[in-house]
Amino acid sequence: MDPGNNTGISKFLLLGFSEDPELQPLVFGLFLSMYLITVCGNLLLILAVSSDSHLHTPMYFFLANLSFLDICFTSTTIPKMLWNIQTQSQVITFADCITQMYFFILFSGLDVLLLTVMAYDRFVAICHPLHYMVIMSPRLCGLLVLVSWTISVLHSSLESLMVSWLSFCTEVEIPHFFCELNQMIQLACSDNFLNNIVMYFAVMLLGGAPLAGVLYSYAKIVSSILGISSDQGKYKAFSTCASHLSVVSLFYFTSLGVYLSSAAPQSFHASAVASVMYAVVTPMLNPFIYSLRNKDIKRALMRFSRMAVLKGPIV
């Protein structure tokens, strides 16, 4: 690799989904709506968990962290895309592109690791219920989140630094709505062999290992549920992890589908559309999946809404 971006390229062009001016208002309205739903839904979930003392447990601690990450995750890409549509500009500076890529890798990696931690939490709750509060102590919960942040920060810093060393020969057009790592590497005109090696190794390590952990946890969970004699007990045990399993399936199937299909010849715009599923749609659906299937969250949201209504007239 060349030691630094010596090409003089100071800006890139984000082509987005369509260059048709007639479709721009539709794209703007659609993504603005999804972004507002994502922010409001996840923020309500965080407020509900923090305001209800009954939800101050490891499960809801991780859920509140996931909601916070989902807000940050979508905020790395959607506001810039909306700004470009509003200003009718496709420009993003080299520094902004690297920064956006850094935070996108950071929060997507944190999502993967936190979903794995939540799978472990469900494993302990169902397979070792009598020792749950001892094993999942506040210290361990905080340590698991801290380790997830540390791994993600190191990975994101490495990937972003290596991309910043690449050279780009001409004005680069990125056929995506954000600076996606794989496309940035492929569009470079300098040797990108080491970048590809690191990227695919990271995908296997930080994607495959957590997925294996999730699958192992749920294999043990299913085995424990099948050992429960009563149907009501089986349903109660399964209902505690159904929401998490839904979110994990949605996130992994969409994200792995995008990256596995990137190796095959296809339209870059098709990849951009597919990326919307895990980068925008999944964070938007998370609060609905957890709240609609969880009676505790429903009660906390109703209690929080009543508190807001009562405080309104006083203010």
Q: Average model confidence (pLDDT) for the chain? A: 85
The pLDDT of residue 300 is above 50: yes
Domain containing residue 255: CATH number: 1.20.1070.10
Could you tell me if residue 18 is inside a domain? yes
Report residue 1's pLDDT band, with 50, 70 and 90 as the boundaries: very low
Per the CB < 8 A criterion, the answer to whether 34 and 280 are in contact is: yes
**Which letter, b or e, does each residue of 216-236 get, where b requires 16 or more Cβ atoms within 10 Å of its Cβ?**
ebbebbeebbeeeeeeeeeee
Residue 15 φ then ψ, to 5°: -75, -20
Residue scoring higher pLDDT (243 or 117) = 117
pLDDT tens digits for range 106-165: 999 999 999 999 999 999 999 998 999 999 999 999 999 999 999 999 999 999 999 999
Residue scoring higher pLDDT (128 or 4) = 128
pLDDT at 2: 43
The pLDDT of residue 284 is above 60: yes
pLDDT at 315: 45
pLDDT at 88: 86
Q: Is 294 helix (H, G, I), strand (E, B) or coil?
A: coil
Count of structural domains within the chain: 1
Could you tell me if residue 4 is inside a domain? no
Residue scoring higher pLDDT (8 or 19) = 19
Residue scoring higher pLDDT (254 or 186) = 186
Residue scoring higher pLDDT (256 or 178) = 178
Could you tell me if residue 5 is inside a domain? no
pLDDT at 309: 64
Query: Per the structure block, which two tokens stand in for 313?
Result: 């007239």
Could you tell me if residue 1 is inside a domain? no
Per the CB < 8 A criterion, the answer to whether 80 and 92 are in contact is: yes
Tell me how crowded residue 238 is: count the other CB atoms within 10 A of its CB. 15
Per the CB < 8 A criterion, the answer to whether 307 and 51 are in contact is: yes
Residues 6+ apart with CB under 8 A from 246: 289, 293
Distance, in Å, from the CA atom of 70 to the CA atom of 291, rounded to the nearest integer, reads 15
Residues 6+ apart with CB under 8 A from 121: 58, 59, 62, 136
Closest by CA position to 279, among listed 34, 28, 2: 34
Could you tell me if residue 222 is inside a domain? yes
Distance, in Å, from the CA atom of 268 to the CA atom of 24, rounded to the nearest integer, reads 19
Q: Is 200 helix (H, G, I), strand (E, B) or coil?
A: helix
pLDDT at 180: 87
Q: Which amino acid is at 240?
A: T
Closest by CA position to 78, among listed 157, 139, 17, 146: 17
DSSP-assigned states of every residue in 31-69: HHHHHHHHHHHHHHHHHHHHH-GGG-SHHHHHHHHHHHH
Mean pLDDT for the stretch of residues 214-220: 92
pLDDT at 3: 44
Structural domain range at position 111: 11-314
Mean pLDDT for the stretch of residues 91-113: 93
Could you tell me if residue 77 is inside a domain? yes
pLDDT tens digits for range 175-209: 888 998 888 888 888 888 999 999 989 988 988 89
Length of the chain: 315
Closest by CA position to 199, among listed 262, 246, 253, 110: 262
- DSSP state letter for 130: G
The pLDDT of residue 297 is above 70: yes
Per the CB < 8 A criterion, the answer to whether 70 and 38 are in contact is: yes
The pLDDT of residue 5 is above 60: no
The CA-atom distances, in angstroms, between 237 and each of 243, 294, 296 are: 12, 13, 15
Could you tell me if residue 181 is inside a domain? yes
pLDDT at 15: 82
DSSP-assigned states of every residue in 9-39: --EEEE--S---TTTHHHHHHHHHHHHHHHH
